[in-house]
Structure formats: structure tokens, C-alpha cells
Structure 1
Amino acid sequence: MAPLSWRHHTLLQSLLHRGPLSERDFHAIFAGVSGKNPATHQQLFNDTLLKINKDLAYLQFELRACINQYDGMVYYGVVNNIADEESKLGTKYSVPQIAFYKGLLEAIVQEAGNDGSITSIDALNVRLDNQVAVLDGSQDSQSRLPSSIKNFSMSQKEKTLDELIRDRWLSYTATGKIGLGTRSFLDLRSWFRGNDIPSCVVCNEACIKASSCPNEGCDVRIHEYCLKKKFSQRKASRACPSCGTGWPCQDGEGEADEVNEPGEEDLASPANHPSRKKRSRVKAELVEENDIAGPSTEVPRTRRTLRSAKAEAVEADQEASSTAASQPGRGSKRRKK
């Protein structure tokens, strides 16, 4: 097998040096080193990643893509496929910091509202001793906790939380809460599956932030971006794929499809006719003028105003009759009156 070229090395180095990159940024780097746009040369792009992963497999690494479930964007990164004790020694985090992250991870994925996030207060109140107790399992495990776990202060939690967000293991959501970061979505795919995290019925990936079926007896969950894809067409049935319950629209969904799209019948309707709109506007202006002026004895002036309003309406009818053959003669009928 041919060795990796400088182009492959550049792609790998960009991910290792910068960390996970958005699809747009990674595509831009690929276009710069290959001279090809991944959008129009998808096969070349896929072959390049396959070539890289074949060589990385020897080192138990993988170039992987994931979707950030909070913004629906695709990211690329290099991950370690093994999780033994030797690999854990390579992290810069201490034992209590790792235990704190595990506690945060469990609190986020078990969040009852399917929002995939917790408040900062809840994050700082995560107990580290629970993580050690789960690993130990003995009855006196609480009395044998390491001092680093017992003495892990609130200020140390705050500092660790900032580091985890900066390193993109965690993130701030749009609502200001604490959620998983891009690195977690990249690295923890096998962990999600091994811990029975519910999967999306559309993409089969773990549901951290997702929507649940409105039927309380149904456990189907779908990512918000998968919902938009599944129900993007107007004629698509908005029904749960499991129980058939109608799935409610998300905020803002479908509004753009229903606005400013009149049919042919609406365009031909007298209510939407240009002359009818103009007459309504003229009458409204006349009423407003009379309300402002109040009662008046100048009857001739009022009559002149009415006549001018009628004349404008007649002109509007004449203009409309030239483009709307379905309503001929309206102007002449108005003049007879």
C-alpha cells in the first residue's frame, strides 16, 4: 500500500493541531491541498479519508465525522479507538477531574427533559464520590476515597468546568446551559451505545438532544435536524414511525411554506383584486380624515371629497380591467351609479 502523501499529512496535522473542525473549514483545507471542491468531487474526498483511516488503523486512531446535536453542524476530528488504562495516562486531566467529567456526562445524558443540558448550578453540584463508588462497589468505598476526591473544592470544579469547555469536551448551549462538546460526540460513540442511550430512529445515533414522541407510552426519539429532514416535504406524514401518533411541528417549522404563496384561485379572488384594495385604502383615509376633522358644516367640501374618492376608484377599476379580463365592465357600472 502506498504511503500517505503530503496532502494526507496536511489534513491530519490540521485536525491534530487545531482540534475538531467544522465541515466548512475541513472542506476548505481539502480544497486547498487537492485543488478540488469536496462538494463536486465527493468520491475523491471519500477515497482520501478511507486512505487515511487505513493507515491510522494500525495506531488505533480514526478520522471521524460527527454531528453536533445542539447546532446540527458536521465536524471532523481524529479520535482514539481504544480506552485502556495506558491511554488514560495520556490525558492532561487529573483523577478527580476525570471523575468530575464522568459525573457531568451522566447528568447530561440522563437529563429528563431530553434537552441534553444541565444548569451551571447542577453541574457544580455533581458528586465525585458517586463515580468512585460505582467503580469500587464495596460497602466501605466511601471511607476509602482518595484525598484528591474528598478535597476537590468548588473552585476546582469551576476551573475544571472552564477547561472542559475550552477543550470542547463540554459546551455552552444556546440557552446558556452546559451540554456536551464536539470532542464528546466524536469520542464517545461506543460509550453511548454501551450505556443504552436511546438512539434516533432516523440516523441510529445516540439521542443526547432530541424530541420525544408525544405519546407518553412510546419511547421513540428523533433528533431535531432529523425531524426537519424526515418531514421536510409537505405531503410527508407527520406521524411517529412506531405508534403513528401525530408529531407536532417545531417552532418556526412550516411557516415559510405557508406565507406569500397564494394559489391561482386566490389571485383571481375579488378580495385580492388591486382595485378592491385601493378602494378600501381610500375609504379608510376618508374615514380617518373625517374623524380628525370632527363634525363639520362644510357639506360641499365633504361631497367633493367623496366625488374625488369615487373618481380615484373609477380610475383604479379602469386600470385593473385592462389586465383582468374576467371582470370586464366594472368601471362602466360604477359610472352609471
Structure 2
Amino acid sequence: MSDVDKAATARVSWLQSIVSHRIVPAPFAKHLYKRCCTILDLQYTEAAYRTMFDEAAKHLSVLDLELRNFRDQQTGQTMLALVNTKDDALVQGATRYSSNEIAFVKKLIEEIFKARREAYAIPSLEAVRLGSKLRTHLTRDATEELLKNLVDHNWIDYSSDGIYTLSTRALLELRNYLQNEFGDEYFHTCSHCKDIVTLGVGCSYTSRGCTTRYHLHCARNTIGSAVDDDDALQKLAGGFSCSDCGRVWKSRPIGPRALRLSTADHDGFFSSQGEASQAEPPQRRGRRQASEQDDDEENEEEEEQDVKQQHTRTAVTPQDDEEQDEDDDEPTPRRSTRVKPEPDHQQTPLQQPSRRRSHNEQGEDEDDESDEELDIKPRKRAR
């Protein structure tokens, strides 16, 4: 077998591995090709891998498939995925899911993408209840089985906290659908790498028009180069201005942490108050959390107004300064201070009954004494 035939066989073997995995880390993809070269007794080099990769991408483009690199939002690791670029009726029909299940998947994606405060997540209890809200009703068991199947095929991710999020594969293959379906209102990209962002940090003024958002790994390369901890990065504030709105930077979490859906902040699905909140009904608990979030926004607006008022008050004209100096020169009259005499017996509020109450008690005592005298006489006679 010639070297050309060996290279072609190694490329086909590598493509079969990628098709079976669908999405793999980029270092693992290189490892797969290195194994193919070792089996075929072919020398492996980085240049040979890049040449093979370009040839494979050229052959796949004829089939409307693409090899796309993407950095994982949580780990920051570069991933290689095989993505279908054609969206037609034939491709939509070539699926293992029924029409009822596809309707559920669309509803699930909508709930995840339209979550409040750009959380891009849904608790498992709410996800299971979605099946009963569809026109084509799905039972609880069927919904749970479908969710498990989606997790097994890497369409959605399920965390140990009981939270569903869109996986890297879903973000890659459904990018065009997500952009066309949800638009600029919910579809946001990273200001650094320009990829879709559903987990990271953003400027605290994004709800007021600011468009600055970062992945966690992109934020470390830009605004938080000296911060390694994700928690510290999501609480980063001060020191520099936002590149878009120009205000003092204050991080706002993007992802499940935006609604406190994490083990650090809750003990189940919604709860952030411990055992007391577990007994609280889900509807009332959701309303309470929504009101708390609204109160936080109102408090932020009030703080900004107070700061503006303080700035206007501190801006004093020169005439006002002269008037203040003149007022300081004038002697201020002395005020006589009188010391109130202390009472002989100080009583606490619990020891100070009202007059009306004291009179009533005295009257009741007199009545009780008279009743006791009347009761004593018949007892003596009985003896």
C-alpha cells in the first residue's frame, strides 16, 4: 500500500470516528488521527493533520456537513463538532423523534432561551410539567424518558442540581434556528469571540441597552485577567469602565446563577431559604422570587437616583460659599440647656400600665374581695 493510499485510509477511518462521536474535544480528534497513522504505519505530523482536516472538510461540504470548532462555555476547552448546515423538510423528517416529541423539544428550548434574567436554564420539575401543557399531552413517564434520551444524545445537559441547559451540540447545530427564532432579544453573542453566549458574565446595565457580554474564559482574557475563580469573576466590580456603555463595570451572571439555580445558593430546584422554603408551594415560591428580583431592580434605580441627587447637592456655587463663610463669622447665640430631673423610680414600658387600666384593675380587685367575703359566710355556716 502506497503512502497516498495509507493517507486516504487514515482520513476515512478518522471521519468514521468523528461521525460516531459527533462532538469531541479538539485534542482527542488529533489523538484519533494519530492512532490511525500508527496502525497504518504512517508518520504523524501537525502539518499532515491540517492537510487531512482540510481535505475532509472539502468532502463533507458536498454533503452539507461542516467540521466546526467551538469552545465549551463551562470548561473553555476547544471542541470539534460535525454539524449539519442544511435545514429542509427532508432533514427535519430524518429524526428518531415523533411529532409530539419534537413539539415538546421546541417548547423546552423556548422555555430555556426565554428564561428570566438570561438564565438559559429550566429546573427539572418545570421541564417535566411541560409535557402536560402541550396540546398533544405527554404523560409524566413519557416526558421523563424523553428528557433522559435528550441527555444521552448530548442535546441538553443535566446538572447535579436538577437543572437542564442547552448543550454545546445543541448550540452548534441549532445556531441558525435559535438566531432566527429568538432574534436579538434573546440571542446574544460574546463581545470577545462573537460566539453565542448562554453562560458567562455581562455588564450590569445590559437590561438598559448595554450589549457587553462575555464567556467565562473570554472574560479571563479581557476584563478579569488576574481572576481565576468563576465566583469571583461573576462578582467582579470596579476598576475599569464598560467598553460599550462607559459606566463603571459591575458583573452580572449569565446562566443558571442569574436565578440562583446552583448548589451554592439553593437546596433543591427553586429554594434559597432552606427547609422553610421546601414546604412553600412552587407557584407562590416563583411569585416570591419574581417579586424579590423586581425589588432588587427598583433598589438599584433608587440608589442611582440618590447618587445623582448627592452630586447636585455637592455642586455649590461661589456665592453660596461666600454666604456660608459670612454665616460662619457671625457669633452663634448660646442655648441654655436644662437638665430634666430624673424620676425616683424608673419604670420600663412593661411596668407602666395605663391609668384607665389601673382603675379597672382596682375596681375588679374590690369586687373580688366583696365576692370572697360573701362566699366565706356560707362556708362558715356549713361548718
TM over 0.5: yes
Deviation readout 1:128-158 (Å, 9 max, x if unpaired):
876xxxxxxxxxxxxxxxxxx5232121111
Deviation at 1:200, TM superposition (A): 1.2
Find runs of 4+ consecutive structure 1 residues off by over 6 angstroms. Answer: none
Are residues 1:21 and 2:41 paired? no
Deviation readout 1:249-307 (Å, 9 max, x if unpaired):
799xxxxxxxxxxxxxxxxxxxxxxxxxxxxxxxxxxxxxxxxxxxxxxxxxxxxxxxx
SS at match of 1:79: strand
Partner of residue 176, structure 2: 190
Deviation readout 1:48-81 (Å, 9 max, x if unpaired):
3221111111111112222232332222221211
Q: Give the Cα separation in 2 of the matches to 1:23 and 1:97.
A: 32
Deviation at 1:190, TM superposition (A): 1.7
Q: Give the Cα separation in 1 of the matches to 2:79 and 2:102.
A: 24
SS at match of 1:247: strand
Q: Give the Cα separation in 2 of the matches to 1:161 and 1:246.
A: 42
Give the letter aligned to residue 107 of structure 2: G
Partner of residue 213, structure 1: 203
Give the letter aligned to residue 108 of structure 1: I
Partner of residue 32, structure 1: 35
Partner of residue 294, structure 2: none
Are residues 1:150 and 2:140 paired? no
Counterparts of residues 91-170 of structure 1 (less than 5 Å): 91-126=95-130, 150-170=136-156
CA contact (8 A) 1:214 1:245 kept: no
SS at match of 1:198: coil
Q: Quick one: which of 235, 240, 243 aligns to 1:241?
A: 243
Deviation at 1:184, TM superposition (A): 0.4
Deviation at 1:170, TM superposition (A): 0.5
Q: Which moved more, 1:5-14 or 1:64-73?
A: 64-73
SS at match of 2:117: coil
How many pairs align? Answer: 228
CA contact (8 A) 1:67 1:74 kept: yes
SS at match of 1:21: strand
Q: 1:45 to 1:243 in 2, by over 3 A?
A: farther
Q: Which moved more, 1:62-71 or 1:221-230?
A: 62-71
CA contact (8 A) 2:69 2:78 kept: yes
Partner of residue 265, structure 1: none
Q: 1:238 to 1:92 in 2, by over 3 A?
A: farther
Deviation readout 1:74-119 (Å, 9 max, x if unpaired):
2222121112111122111111111111111111122223332210
Q: Quick one: which of 189, 192, 214 aligns to 1:222?
A: 214
Partner of residue 71, structure 2: 67
Q: Quick one: which of 149, 154, 165 aligns to 1:179?
A: 165
Q: 1:93 to 1:128 in 2, by over 3 A?
A: farther
Q: 1:150 to 1:191 in 2, by over 3 A?
A: closer
Q: Give the Cα separation in 2 of the matches to 1:26 and 1:120.
A: 33
Partner of residue 377, structure 2: none
TM-score, normalised to structure 1, is 0.60
Deviation readout 1:24-46 (Å, 9 max, x if unpaired):
32121123234546xxx3x5444
Q: Give the Cα separation in 1 of the matches to 2:188 and 2:8.
A: 40
Q: Which moved more, 1:18-27 or 1:162-171?
A: 18-27
Are residues 1:50 and 2:36 paired? no
Give the letter aligned to residue 196 of structure 2: A
CA contact (8 A) 2:203 2:250 kept: no
Structure possessing the higher radius of gyration over alpha carbons: 2
SS at match of 2:105: helix
| Uncovered stretches (5+) of structure 1, i.e. residues with no partner | 131-148, 252-337
| Uncovered stretches (5+) of structure 2, i.e. residues with no partner | 38-42, 227-238, 254-383
Q: 1:245 to 1:48 in 2, by over 3 A?
A: farther
Give the letter aligned to residue 88 of structure 1: Q
Q: Give the Cα separation in 2 of the matches to 1:98 and 1:213.
A: 35
Q: Give the Cα separation in 1 of the matches to 2:251 and 2:84.
A: 39
CA contact (8 A) 1:114 1:210 kept: no
Q: Give the Cα separation in 1 of the matches to 2:68 and 2:9.
A: 20
Q: 1:238 to 1:46 in 2, by over 3 A?
A: farther
